[in-house]
Structure 1
Amino acid sequence: MKIGFIGSGNIGQAVAASAIRAGYSVVMSNSRGPETLAGLIRKLGPKAKAATAEQAAQEGDLVVVTVPLYALPQLNTNGTKGKTLIDTMNYYPSRDGQIEALDNGSATTSELTAAHFPDAHVVKAFNSIFASEIETTGNPEGDSHRRALPIAGDNPEAKQQVIELLDAIGFDVVDAGPLHEGFRFQNGTPAYCAHAERKQLSELLNRAKA
Structure 2
Amino acid sequence: MGGPAPVPASVGILGRGRVGAVLARLARDAGLDVATASSADDPAEACTRDVVVLAIPLGRFRTLPAPLLRGRLVVDAMNYWWELDGARPELDDPTTSTSETVAAFLDGARVVKALNHASVWELENLALPAGHPDRRGIAVAGDDPGDRAAVAALVDALGFDPVDAGPLAAGVAFEPPTDAFGSDATAEELREMLARFPRSQRGRVVARARSRG
TM-score norm. by structure 2 comes to 0.85
AA in 2 matched with 1:29: A
Please report how far the alpha carbon of residue 122 of structure 1 lies from its aligned counterpart in structure 2 after TM superposition: 0.5
Answering whether residue 62 of structure 2 is matched by residue 54 of structure 1, we say no
Corresponding pairs, count: 191
> Are 1:7 and 1:28, in contact at CA under 8 Å, matched by a contact in 2?
yes
Match of 2:85 among 72, 79, 96: 96
In the alignment, which residue of structure 2 is the partner of 1:72?
A: 61
Please report how far the alpha carbon of residue 79 of structure 1 lies from its aligned counterpart in structure 2 after TM superposition: 2.5
| Residue identity (%) | 36
Please report how far the alpha carbon of residue 170 of structure 1 lies from its aligned counterpart in structure 2 after TM superposition: 1.2
AA in 1 matched with 2:43: A
Farther off after superposition, 73-82 or 157-166: 73-82
> Are 1:54 and 1:77, in contact at CA under 8 Å, matched by a contact in 2?
no
> Are 2:117 and 2:174, in contact at CA under 8 Å, matched by a contact in 1?
yes
Answering whether residue 10 of structure 2 is matched by residue 2 of structure 1, we say yes
Please report how far the alpha carbon of residue 180 of structure 1 lies from its aligned counterpart in structure 2 after TM superposition: 0.8
> Are 2:119 and 2:182, in contact at CA under 8 Å, matched by a contact in 1?
yes
In the alignment, which residue of structure 1 is the partner of 2:36?
A: 28
Q: Distance in 2 between matches of 1:83 and 1:158?
A: 10
In the alignment, which residue of structure 2 is the partner of 1:124?
A: 113
After superposition, give the CA deviation of every residue in 1:10-67 in whole Å (9 maximum; x if it has no partner): 111111100100010111111123xxxxxxxxxxxxxxxxxx113311x211101111
In the alignment, which residue of structure 1 is the partner of 2:209?
A: none
RMSD: 1.4
AA in 1 matched with 2:103: A
> Are 1:14 and 1:132, in contact at CA under 8 Å, matched by a contact in 2?
no
AA in 2 matched with 1:5: I
Please report how far the alpha carbon of residue 186 of structure 1 lies from its aligned counterpart in structure 2 after TM superposition: 0.7
Q: Unaligned stretches of 5+ in structure 1?
A: 34-51
Match of 2:25 among 9, 17, 20: 17
Q: Unaligned stretches of 5+ in structure 2?
A: 1-8, 198-202, 207-213
In the alignment, which residue of structure 1 is the partner of 2:167?
A: 178
Q: Kindly report which structure 2 residues correspond to 1:33-48, keeping only aligned pairs within 5 A, or say none.
A: 33=41
TM-score norm. by structure 1 comes to 0.86
Please report how far the alpha carbon of residue 207 of structure 1 lies from its aligned counterpart in structure 2 after TM superposition: 2.5
> Are 2:122 and 2:184, in contact at CA under 8 Å, matched by a contact in 1?
no
Answering whether residue 204 of structure 2 is matched by residue 196 of structure 1, we say no
Q: Distance in 2 between matches of 1:205 and 1:8?
A: 29
AA in 2 matched with 1:175: D
Please report how far the alpha carbon of residue 95 of structure 1 lies from its aligned counterpart in structure 2 after TM superposition: 1.5
